[in-house]
Amino acid sequence: DAGVIQSPRHEVTEMGQEVTLRCKPISGHDYLFWYRQTMMRGLELLIYFNNNVPIDDSGMPEDRFSAKMPNASFSTLKIQPSEPRDSAVYFCASREGRGVAEAFFGQGTRLTVV
């Protein structure tokens, strides 16, 4: 397996624009996580899914953020409208749902909102 795949790797957008980040988890993994990493706040869990169903979205900062998982092999994180304070690295990770399963991370998307 190629691991967790995120796209794009870098995104620069203007304030007010819609941004969509994409993730393909490892095949067979039951759980998918979206994290945001910033210098000030570290690594924050935004939302996670189990079998394509959102389980906990309490970390989503506000209504401008939304996430979907239409099938087991694809998820999106959308920000609309984007603001400069959304600038961060966004990571997607996936995990099996049994045993002491670790999360496998993608390479991240570095988002810059100007």
Partner 1 sequence: AQSVTQLGSHVSVSEGALVLLRCNYSSSVPPYLFWYVQYPNQGLQLLLKYTSAATLVKGINGFEAEFKKSETSFHLTKPSAHMSDAAEYFCAVSVSSASKIIFGSGTRLSIRP
Instruction: List all residues 6 or more positions away from 1 whose beta carbon is below 8 Å from its beta carbon.
Output: 26, 27
State which residue, 25 or 108, has the beta carbon closest to partner 1: 108
Instruction: Report which DSSP code applies to 9.
Output: S
Residue 49 near partner 1 by CB under 8 A: no
Residue 42 near partner 1 by CB under 8 A: yes
The window from 20-28, 62-70, 72-80, 92-100 that contacts partner 1 (CB under 8 A) reads 92-100
Residue 99 near partner 1 by CB under 8 A: yes
Give residues in contact with partner 1 (CB under 8 A). Answer: 4, 31, 33, 35, 42-43, 45, 48, 50, 55-56, 91, 93, 95-108
